[in-house]
Structure 1
Amino acid sequence: MNMQHGGAGEEQHSGQSRFEVLFEDNHLLGIVKPVNIPVQEDATGDPDLLTLLKEDVKERYNKPGNVYMGLVHRLDRPVGGAMIFAKTSKAASRLSESVRTHAFRKVYLTVVHGKPSASQGRLVNTLLKDAKSNTVTIVRKGTPGGKEAILDYTVLGSAEGFSLLKIDLLTGRSHQIRVQLSGIGCPLFGDQKYGAAVNRPGQQIALWSSLVGFPHPVTKDDIELISLPPQTHPWSLWPQQLQKQAIR
């Protein structure tokens, strides 16, 4: 179920959040992450989502002192869409356990150049991250420092030399979707890092966190946060109804 704006035992607050809120109660805050904002503080020193959310909650609830906000999963800076944050350490711990036990579901929509050879499939690779250059490469299994990366994809449609894919992410490696799809010859639209040969500088990467699903850490209810990408090119090549139906 898609939970919207609040739940049982919700705190009283004044003022509207500066973010699009998908779910909120005393334990959790689910929002739509805007594109091009880092989730955590990085070397650029630009405002980061975690700090902005703490400030937002502090203002809306007139809270004194520091506000707790637990990071459970991440999205790359240029990527937007559904994200869940924990408002208590207990909720953060239980959500992290859901991630570890694969009870935490992450579904993405993406637009790629070309079309995978199979209409659906599973990609399994070993990825190695170079922290200095912040790039990830596919390496041989058994390579020291390499981590297994697994995703399932389904081609939802093709148009104008692009394909719309649904991605079920089964592991959460850095840049995973971008690297694995580039590895099969289908780099993401707008991805300068892993598709520089076919993308133009300034294009927005077409990768969107469309569904985040998990058991509520306290009530155990099944929660689903749903967010659809903006209806701009290249997303607008396919009807929003198709995108919505595909991610369920």
Structure 2
Amino acid sequence: MLEQEENPQQPILSNTAPPVPEAELDDDSEGGDELYEHHRITADKRQELLRLDKFLLNRLPATSRTRIQNAIKAEAVQVNERPVKSNYRVKPGDTITITLPEPPREFKVVPEPMPLDIRYEDAELLLVNKPAGLVVHPAFGNWNGTLVNGLAYHLQNLPTGRNGEIRPGLVHRIDKDTSGLLVVGKTEFAMTHLSNQFFHHTIERTYLALVWGVPKEPAGTIRGHIGRSLKDRKVQAVYPDGDQGKHAVTHYKVLQSFGKVALLQCNLETGRTHQIRAHMKHIGHPLFGDATYGGDRIVYGQRTGAYKVFAEKMLELMPRQALHAKSLGFEHPTTREFLQFEVELPDDFEQLLTNWTQYSTEYS
């Protein structure tokens, strides 16, 4: 009953849950003799009071509010081991459980043939240039057509992910709408060696980002813990005082200014979820086109006249965050040689820069 509405054959709520017929969670459903716990969520100690259905919608973004409300009504959702109504306000420390009539099942990656832009490959690892729009690994709402599905087909025997995660071969990832380089371990040893380099921050990672506005300092370092927002769990928030989230450091340098936007080089010292996107939003320069962090509208400049028309056309040209993982540098697991790889900007990003260059030249 909580499966994604658009595709009822997909697992419900998590990557371990099998499809469950909708009737099994209706008011008059008898269900099975036994219920199986699929989710247990404990509200953060700083959680603001929030309706239960909205709280779960934030935690389970691929599930509709209607299905969540129906499940609550069917008492498949309980708070502190008690059934409650949808308007119950979740408090700090509350434990929310979701039980279903079917036991969780293991999820297996299905190999799928797909074109992969592989830039380097040997017996231990490979580097792939991921296009924007491609999800890296299977998760709720994206069980097929991911990069991992394609890698599984290409290699057939990818090592399993760490701690049982469904991330075979992957030691890091980039967001769906971010383009650029990913390194993939082909053996357990390679995965461990590469993972250690990420853990100790010895991997060199360079991103190119187009941001709204021009930072006052031509180069700088952004420090601020990053963790899930207490208001919207789909968004990462910056906690400058370090009272929440995890330590995060981003170094940036302005490569080119276009007046209302600027091209930055960003180097990651840490690798938190949405790190560049959240850090740039924090300093008042969200990534161009980034709908999640407020960059999908005009942030700098007048919202009138020719500039408004031009800026909106540019947002249509790139309806995603303007972020590209341009280079990766790391020590090879077996040869111990330091390798450096770089890929060009994708066409939409390149065209975006060309257009901003022409506009800034004509109207400067």
Residue 211 of structure 1 contacts residue 226 of structure 1 at CA under 8 Å; is this kept in 2? yes
- Measured on the aligned residues, the alpha-carbon RMSD in Å equals 2.3
Shift of 1:139: 1.9
Residue 291 of structure 2 contacts residue 320 of structure 2 at CA under 8 Å; is this kept in 1? no
Q: 1:76 to 1:197 in 2, by over 3 A?
A: closer
Q: Structure 2 CA distance, aligned partners of 1:170 and 1:143?
A: 20
Q: When the two structures are superposed, what TM-score results if normalisation uses the length of structure 2?
A: 0.55
Partner of 1:57: 155
Secondary structure of the residue aligned to 1:55 is: helix
Secondary structure of the residue aligned to 2:277 is: helix
Partner of 2:145: 47
* Structure showing the higher helix proportion among its residues: 2
Q: 1:226 to 1:238 in 2, by over 3 A?
A: farther
1:143 to 239, 243, 247: 243
Code of the residue aligned with 1:177 in structure 2: it is: I
Q: Structure 1 CA distance, aligned partners of 2:356 and 2:203?
A: 28
Residue 79 of structure 1 contacts residue 209 of structure 1 at CA under 8 Å; is this kept in 2? yes
Summarize the alignment of residues 103-182 of structure 1 with structure 2, pairs less than 5 Å apart.
103-130=202-229, 133-144=233-244, 146-159=245-258, 161-182=260-281
Partner of 1:226: 342
Shift of 1:237: 4.9
Q: Which digits, 9 at most, give the CA deviation of each residue in 1:96-147, with x for residues without a partner?
A: 1111222211110010011011000000011121497321111242424x11
Secondary structure of the residue aligned to 2:149 is: helix
Partner of 1:235: 353
1:207 to 298, 316, 323: 323
Residue 213 of structure 2 contacts residue 259 of structure 2 at CA under 8 Å; is this kept in 1? no
Shift of 1:185: 1.1
Q: 1:194 to 1:204 in 2, by over 3 A?
A: same
Partner of 2:361: none
Q: 1:91 to 1:142 in 2, by over 3 A?
A: same
Residue 206 of structure 1 contacts residue 234 of structure 1 at CA under 8 Å; is this kept in 2? no
* Structure showing the higher strand proportion among its residues: 1
Shift of 1:175: 0.5
Code of the residue aligned with 1:141 in structure 2: it is: D
Looking at both structures, which has the greater relative contact order when contacts are Cα pairs under 8 Å and sequence separation is at least 6?
1
Secondary structure of the residue aligned to 1:180 is: helix
Q: Which digits, 9 at most, give the CA deviation of each residue in 1:69-104, with x for residues without a partner?
A: 421111011101011000001000000111122221
Structure 2 runs not aligned, ≥5 long: 1-112, 160-167, 299-314, 358-364
Q: Structure 1 CA distance, aligned partners of 2:296 and 2:123?
A: 47
Residue 179 of structure 2 contacts residue 346 of structure 2 at CA under 8 Å; is this kept in 1? no
Larger Rg: 2
Partner of 2:52: none
Partner of 1:36: 133
Q: Structure 2 CA distance, aligned partners of 1:236 and 1:50?
A: 33
Percent identity reads 30
Structure 1 runs not aligned, ≥5 long: 1-15, 59-65, 240-248
Q: 1:219 to 1:168 in 2, by over 3 A?
A: same
Residue 212 of structure 2 contacts residue 295 of structure 2 at CA under 8 Å; is this kept in 1? no
Code of the residue aligned with 1:50 in structure 2: it is: V
Shift of 1:22: 1.1
Shift of 1:160: 5.1
Q: When the two structures are superposed, what TM-score results if normalisation uses the length of structure 1?
A: 0.80
Residue 114 of structure 2 contacts residue 150 of structure 2 at CA under 8 Å; is this kept in 1? no
Q: 1:137 to 1:49 in 2, by over 3 A?
A: same
Q: How many residues align?
A: 216
Summarize the alignment of residues 87-102 of structure 1 with structure 2, pairs less than 5 Å apart.
87-102=186-201
Q: Structure 1 CA distance, aligned partners of 2:202 and 2:248?
A: 17
